[in-house]
Amino acid sequence: MNMTTSPLPDLAAVEAAAARLAGQAVETPLLESHDLNARAGGRVFIKPETLQRTGSFKFRGAFNKISQIPRDAKGGVVAFSSGNHAQGVAAAAQIRGLPAVIVMPSDAPAMKIANTRAYGAEVILYDRHREDREQIGARLAAERGAVLVRPYDDPDVIAGQGTIGLEIARQCKAKGVAPEIVLCPAGGGGLIAGCATALTTLLPEVKIYAAEPAGFDDTARSLAAHKRVSNEPGKSTICDALMAATPGELTFAINDRLLAGGFAVSDQDVQTAMAYAFGRLKLVIEPGGAVALAAALAGKIGLRGRTAVVVCSGGNVDPATFCAAIGASG
């Protein structure tokens, strides 16, 4: 029963993560919009992790992991990431004074690469179509004696992301509301696994759904099949943050047990949600961060008369991508 050796985090692990993150991460607010409520016919709260340090939820898991690495670990940390985990790891390593090397796809958004470097990390670009980022990351970790900080399949990373679920439960209680539905983006599944760990313990009645881009709905299909299935290769999406091919082992072990299902949204749904967030919520949301809002707006689940929380997981988007979205449907 020693929690530190347990492969899957529990509520206590999430609470321990929250204690480590205090004063470092932002406690993001729980926002309510009269316009969104009217549109949904219910109460729909937004949890804007766009407002988190580094512009996405990823700082939480990264800092929870990296703050437990001894400060004299000369090898520092290594990570592979499409961009948000990269920034989270780089910022967390910088706070702890640890060197960081981050493996990023060469076609990652320019803002994500620039920000990762600005947090003091060494960035190594790779070709997403021809190279294996996990192999590159493992090799660099071995060469440098660095700790590999996985983007989702790590109990400490999952527990860190779970602090969002903790905050949602506490903030809902403070507002006197009991959410029936939580919609949350899923890539590798760490964010939603952490949130579900906290939420299903604190709010046993809540139903939690994954939102994913069409063609990358491996979590939804894996949940339906009760086994990990991969996305077909060759698909594309504007959601650069959500292109993991297969659910994580640890994350799926949690999600298979705790989630109610998943929804896939089109790139057009995502752009519509980004434009809505610009026009009505006044929030900058990146494509991958907007999939849960897209699922809500596209009517993937009935929200009439219900109380729901929608996690908007990140806002790191290049101006051109953003303006294409808000011009296209704004």
Binding site for its own copies (CB under 8 A): 26, 29, 31-35, 48, 50-51, 53, 55, 111, 278-285, 315, 319-320, 322-323, 326-327, 330
- For its own copies, the closer of residues 52 and 251 by Cβ is 52
Which amino acid belongs to residue 92? A
- For its own copies, the closer of residues 31 and 294 by Cβ is 31
For residues 222 and 264, is the Cβ–Cβ distance under 8 A? no
CB of 289 to its own copies, least distance (A): 9
CB of 7 to its own copies, least distance (A): 32
- For its own copies, the closer of residues 81 and 87 by Cβ is 87
- For its own copies, the closer of residues 33 and 255 by Cβ is 33
CA dist., res. 325 & res. 255, Å (int):
31
Question: What's the DSSP call for residue 56?
Answer: B
3-state DSSP assignment of residue 243: coil
CB of 164 to its own copies, least distance (A): 16
Residue labelled with tokens 């808000």: 326
CB of 285 to its own copies, least distance (A): 8
Number of CB atoms found within 10 A of residue 259's CB: 26
For residues 79 and 112, is the Cβ–Cβ distance under 8 A? no
For residues 14 and 197, is the Cβ–Cβ distance under 8 A? yes
Element holding 321 (H helix, E strand): helix 319-329
How deeply is 104 buried, as exposed, middle or buried, from its count of CB atoms within 10 A (0-12, 13-18, 19+)? Answer: buried
CB of 327 to its own copies, least distance (A): 5
- For its own copies, the closer of residues 140 and 164 by Cβ is 164
